[in-house]
Structure 1
Amino acid sequence: MCGIVGAVAQRNITPILIEGLKRLEYRGYDSCGVALHVDGQLQRSRSTSRVADLEQQIEHTHLHGFTGIAHTRWATHGAPATHNAHPHFSPSADVARIALVHNGIIENHDELRAELTALGYVFQSQTDTEVIAHLVDHLYNGDLFETVQQAVKRLTGAYAIAVFAREEPHRVVAARQGSPLIVGLGQGENFVASDAMALAGTTDQIIYLEEGDVVDLQLGRTWIVDVNGKPVQRDVKTVHAHTGAADLGPYRHYMQKEIFEQPRVIGDTLEGVMAVMPELFGDGAHAVFKQIDRVLILACGTSYYSGLTAKYWIESVAKIPVNVEIASEYRYRDSVPHPNTLVVTISQSGETADTLAALKHARSLGMEHTLTICNVATSAMVRECKLAYITRAGVEVGVASTKAFTTQLAGLFLLTLTLAQVNGRLSDEQEAQHLKAMRHLPVAIASVLALEPLIMAWAEDFARKENALFLGRGMHYPIALEGALKLKEISYIHAEAYPAGELKHGPLALVTEEMPVVTVAPNDALIEKLKSNMQEVRARGGQLYVFADVDSRITPGEGVHVIRLPEHYGLLSPILHVVSLQLLAYHTALARGTDVDKPRNLAKSVTVE
């Protein structure tokens, strides 16, 4: 969840490190820091504020150097505080010999801490990271590359680290296991970072390190050894990374901007899709799809809800059974594997640690047919899966996912149609109708966005509440889940979602005049059942806020507030309805004055387990 950037150069690297941190701040913003090699000594600056504040702090102290590392943190071990902020020094700040930053979790840190304490090391933080710094210092033999190789053998858990030593002024060593890390190659200078976006504008020559790699960065060379300590060559890729720092234009926050980008990015994601064909998902997809007779979807958070929606689609249209698993739970339970399963992972970043681990677990059980729906073509998820559909949401800066979610749904609906076609369950006429509906999505979403002023009025009511219920039925139940997640993520209002039919089995006890109940009400086969559930709410004095289709015949009245979406959109209705819920969450958070793009305690790319 943390962001790392480091550099070895013959120029002042402070601006590169700071710019890299700004682009990595989506990974964590509890604290941040920079350490540099300055006149034979290690110096650092750390802050529990945002990177912009750290930048001002560094400008005031004129901290410049040619070798250094930087970090933006999402707290795991130890509260967000200056003494817990990275980089960490060893043996102490006054006589620092080693500077180190870390992303991940070291599971055996207690054991190592006790061992190092017995050797005389004094710990200044509660972090597991300081353990690594002291371990490297203890093992240091004058060759940092060799020392780090020895040190990582003692670590249990997930990590990406970057470290440099006082005695070796033009060298940074980095290593990864379970957390992403890339190398950037320059002319007479080299870099390391959590992702290529951090180095956009500095270099586009990128090496993606493999599990267990340790890399030695010097001015004119890089040297990589694998998990066994053997020298290896990794492919150099030209990566034109976006900075993620695009102009906000007329928007107040990136989340709002990204909500309004959805018509365009849905169009981009579907660009070139002239027909339903397995080749959309990669070479060999037809053969794979012919072999599979079930689907296992692995995902976390918002991506999990897109998988739940896809379950309704695939089972209804393609008639293939689907199991959707929360990735962080799947690998820790006894499941029943089947070799003819298509394992589908869903991830915005393609670096989600729990989902990657779940994928590897599924493969270890003999399920080798793998496919990912992912927004980053160069990510670990894409490299690990045989097949892929790359969504084209572009860089998503806001922590609460919006456009990544709807483009995932677009990709999953294409997968649904493809599986149906391969199994002889999609006629030419049906294919044409579905593709026509998909091409109309950008226009349909734009019409939902035009409802923003009406939704803003609702948000003023919601901003005064501390709890909310969300209801949906059928394939709109996952959309209710996503709406509740968005509201709680950025407004800090406690929100829960239920299938509407479950109200009478418990949640109805919570309904009072102070409990707003958001209802997703498309005009589908379940609309009359849903109306009955709504009456249960009104009978208890609950306030209903209904997103209804234009023809659903739900009438506003006392305690019943209705916003009508312009049209009913059949199987693709979830994509339209979720946009209205995104706007409700955004404007509620805005009214409450929360940090919309960087909500407390969260980070964008969840790269720790």
Structure 2
Amino acid sequence: MCGIVGYIGDKDALPILIDGLKRLEYRGYDSAGVAILGDDLHVVKTAGRIKDLEERLKGTELKGHLGIAHTRWATHGIPNDVNAHPHFSESKNIVVIHNGIIENYLELKKMLIKEGKTFRTETDTEVIAYLIEEFYEGDLLKAVQKAISMLEGSYALAILSKEEKDHFVAVRKDSPLVGGLGKGENFIASDIPAVLPYTKDIVIFENGDIVDVFKDKTIIYDKNLNIIERTVHKIDWDISDAQKGGFKHFMLKEIFEEPDVIVEAMRGRVKNGKIEVSELDFDKDYLKSVNQVYFVACGTAYHAGLVGKYLVEKYLGI
């Protein structure tokens, strides 16, 4: 699962974004990146851990009160610096971060290539940025609305335009996204712990919500850009409680998260009925030579390992 954080306010955005990413590390990731909009739009990203991103940020002057940040779990495109988020549009006016998977990205990419577009990465997210730019005529909100009408799949998005320095746009469809409402500052994130140190007022966005985030207001729209209302929840949990997601303890949380985790683990790995794990770089001869598989686990994962052992023996015959 990817992690998303967005901030706009009067404070320096970068420390808040990095702190938010660290609070989402439990979601798992293989790369990380940030985009800061100040005098100009700056993006820094890297494969690896958040500490690797912090190392890359040393000596840079990323100053700005508006930014988005992301930790990526690779689906389309191997884990490397280029495929890490955020992703630019072709002109680098639009920048996007994304949790989820766009099922029709190849069709959209082929359409854009026919129009003369040149892509830099292997990701489905870059296609979103290019598509938004296709519709951009000085109004980011409308461009996003038009672009997402062409997307099939699941996504939580945060989008910046370097031409619009007073807001950013977020969207939710089948991927988690919450908003944090502060005084003179507002946030979005994949999960509540990322914003809880800064505000207790939380909006849980629903499927189809398009969110326009300014420092003094957050406006929620439906797919037709009609303004809608969502409940503001006053969260009285501490950070530890928030990380448990309302469950009594982590074991219960992990049990109830299993269906979503299985779906997330399979995103981008099943194509046309076939398993796709190209980033593992296993060739057919190597796989045919495997005659033993080890499951290493502790605690309740040991029992899951026993189930895995049974399935491997039954279906692979080893």
What TM bracket, shorter-length normalisation?
0.7 to 0.9
Structure 2 partner of 1:483: 302
**Contact 1:174–1:215, Cα closer than 8 Å, also in 2:** yes
**Contact 1:35–1:68, Cα closer than 8 Å, also in 2:** yes
**Contact 1:179–1:353, Cα closer than 8 Å, also in 2:** no
Verify: 1:225 aligned to 2:245, yes or no.
no
**Contact 2:296–2:305, Cα closer than 8 Å, also in 1:** no
Write the distance in 2 (CA, Å) between the matches of 1:196 and 1:481.
Answer: 26
- Cα 1:208–1:122, aligned 2, differ >3 Å: closer, same or farther? same
**Contact 1:23–1:244, Cα closer than 8 Å, also in 2:** no
Identity of aligned residues (%): 42
**Contact 2:35–2:68, Cα closer than 8 Å, also in 1:** yes
Write the distance in 2 (CA, Å) between the matches of 1:200 and 1:226.
Answer: 26
Q: Secondary structure at the match of 2:202?
A: strand
Amino acid at match of 2:257: S
Q: Secondary structure at the match of 1:467?
A: coil
TM-score (norm 2): 0.80
**Contact 1:200–1:240, Cα closer than 8 Å, also in 2:** no
Deviation at 1:352, TM superposition (A): 5.2
Structure 2 partner of 1:393: none
For residues 247-396 of structure 1, the aligned pairs below 5 Å read 265=249, 303=255, 346-347=256-257, 354=263
Q: Deviations over 1:3-43 (max 9, x none)?
A: 0001111120101100111111222321000001131x211
- Cα 1:11–1:481, aligned 2, differ >3 Å: closer, same or farther? closer
Structure ranking higher in helix proportion = 1
Structure 1 partner of 2:26: 26
Write the distance in 2 (CA, Å) between the matches of 1:144 and 1:72.
Answer: 24
Amino acid at match of 2:48: S
Write the distance in 2 (CA, Å) between the matches of 1:235 and 1:351.
Answer: 24
Q: Secondary structure at the match of 1:170?
A: strand
- Cα 1:5–1:468, aligned 2, differ >3 Å: closer, same or farther? closer
Query: Structure 1 runs of 4+ off > 4 angstroms?
Result: 350-355, 479-482
If asked which structure has higher relative contact order (CA below 8 Å, sep 6+), I would say 2
Over the aligned positions, Cα root-mean-square deviation in angstroms equals 3.4
- Cα 1:469–1:211, aligned 2, differ >3 Å: closer, same or farther? closer
Write the distance in 1 (CA, Å) between the matches of 2:56 and 2:301.
Answer: 39
Structure 2 partner of 1:6: 6
Q: Secondary structure at the match of 2:138?
A: coil
**Contact 1:170–1:218, Cα closer than 8 Å, also in 2:** yes
- Cα 1:486–1:21, aligned 2, differ >3 Å: closer, same or farther? farther
Write the distance in 2 (CA, Å) between the matches of 1:353 and 1:143.
Answer: 38
Structure 1 partner of 2:276: none
Deviation at 1:146, TM superposition (A): 1.4
Deviation at 1:86, TM superposition (A): 0.2
Verify: 1:68 aligned to 2:79, yes or no.
no
Deviation at 1:99, TM superposition (A): 0.8
Write the distance in 2 (CA, Å) between the matches of 1:2 and 1:245.
Answer: 21
Deviation at 1:137, TM superposition (A): 1.0
Write the distance in 2 (CA, Å) between the matches of 1:506 and 1:141.
Answer: 57
- Cα 1:245–1:88, aligned 2, differ >3 Å: closer, same or farther? farther
- Cα 1:239–1:480, aligned 2, differ >3 Å: closer, same or farther? closer
Structure 2 partner of 1:145: 141
Amino acid at match of 1:194: S
Verify: 1:35 aligned to 2:35, yes or no.
yes
Deviation at 1:170, TM superposition (A): 1.7
Write the distance in 2 (CA, Å) between the matches of 1:225 and 1:468.
Answer: 47
Q: Which has the larger radius of gyration?
A: 1
For residues 56-95 of structure 1, the aligned pairs below 5 Å read 56-91=55-90, 95=91
For residues 362-441 of structure 1, the aligned pairs below 5 Å read none
Deviation at 1:197, TM superposition (A): 0.7
Q: Secondary structure at the match of 1:203?
A: coil
State how many pairs are aligned: 285
Write the distance in 2 (CA, Å) between the matches of 1:234 and 1:469.
Answer: 44
**Contact 1:469–1:496, Cα closer than 8 Å, also in 2:** no
Q: Deviations over 1:580-609 (max 9, x none)?
A: xxxxxxxxxxxxxxxxxxxxxxxxxxxxxx
**Contact 2:6–2:187, Cα closer than 8 Å, also in 1:** yes
Unaligned runs of 5+ in 1: 247-257, 259-263, 270-301, 304-345, 356-464, 471-478, 489-494, 499-504, 511-609
Deviation at 1:163, TM superposition (A): 0.3
Structure 2 partner of 1:566: none
**Contact 1:104–1:159, Cα closer than 8 Å, also in 2:** yes
